[in-house]
A and B are shown apart, each in its own frame.
Chain A
């Protein structure tokens, strides 16, 4: 597979940005992670025969980068100021966002990958370095939380 870098950016930037935003809850941090992921891509130039392999690699790198940021003591210390200064994300559904923010970062990423990216539990487990059972367990708990927060009619399916 030999795709132009700009083609890859246009094809995967939005998906990776949403994954990063699901993890971090910050527009600025998500864009920083996106830039770092593509820099790594340029440095390593992974050559995969199939496109899904490249997509999986990009998702894994994005998840690892988000995890590193979440572990960073610097981000934990400066998060309130950055959150106040960051540009607000255009939010068509504030209630849903508020409910999602009640979930843990990794649970938000699982919900995004499962419901929007249509990833299987196995793919999610591989991307987030988890077991398949743990992904399904976390997904069940996240669905129950969202059902509770958003009302009885939200079943999550």
Chain B
């Protein structure tokens, strides 16, 4: 009797229909995780990677980003800022940045006093092969090459050397004729052949020599082609005349 009452009581107890449906659906595949849970791991990994990169690529005090840490040094060793060079530092203490030192300047030759303030010293006229600054040579009967043109009163300036004509052959000094003499007297140039005693007089009245004149000209006397060089001194009476053999230009190469 008591057992029947208890069995009737327990028999009436059953799970609800909703509970049975849930139990039967338990075997189905579990619901996919929410999107935030599925993305949580990749997002966390990306954030960690970014954090590591930001930690390693720190700007150095000079504003230059340090390179990524390689396998050889550690990240902190690579990113360790270099000490700021002080004024007492020598160039050898910072070999990475070569700095122009004052050593070459101190070793350079001293600037000549005349060139101070003018930068590079001027080369000497001889170095430049220019005759502009060359002092005028003393007139000499032997300096035939700078004599003026024919007529005696030509230019007294020596011919300026042309740097562009350095390849020209240097003219040879003609030999002075010693068997013929010449004098300038009373406006006449008198030539005398010492061997024969023959004399030739050239009237210079049309072109009288003036003090300081100098010049050379070709002349054909005594059956010879000669060069007559005339240099007038401070006075018209101070005249020096020299005769030279005319060089054979055709024999020159």
Contacts and interface: CB of A to CB of B under 8 A. Distances in A.
A97 interface: yes
A51 interface: no
A35 B20 CA distance: 9
Contacts of A50: none
A155 B2 CA distance: 7
Main DSSP-derived SS at the B contact region = helix
Interface stretch (A61-69, A75-83, A111-119, A120-128): A111-119
B9 A30 contact: no
Contacts of B20: 9-10, 13
Contacts of B26: 5, 9, 35, 38-39, 42
B220 interface: no
Interface string B42-63: 0000000000000000000000
Nearest to A111: B6
Chain B interface size, as a band, is 20 to 34
Interface stretch (A52-60, A84-92, A129-137): A84-92
A115 B19 contact: no
A23 interface: no
Nearest to A96: B9
B21 to A, nearest CB: 10
Contacts of B10: 18, 112, 115-116
Contacts of B19: 13, 17, 31, 34-35
Interface string A146-157: 100000011111
B5 A96 contact: yes
B13 A31 contact: no
B251 interface: no
Given A17-B15, A34-B15, A42-B26, 12 more contacts: A9-B26, A13-B23, A14-B14, A14-B15, A17-B13, A21-B13, A31-B16, A35-B19, A35-B22, A35-B23, A111-B6, A157-B3
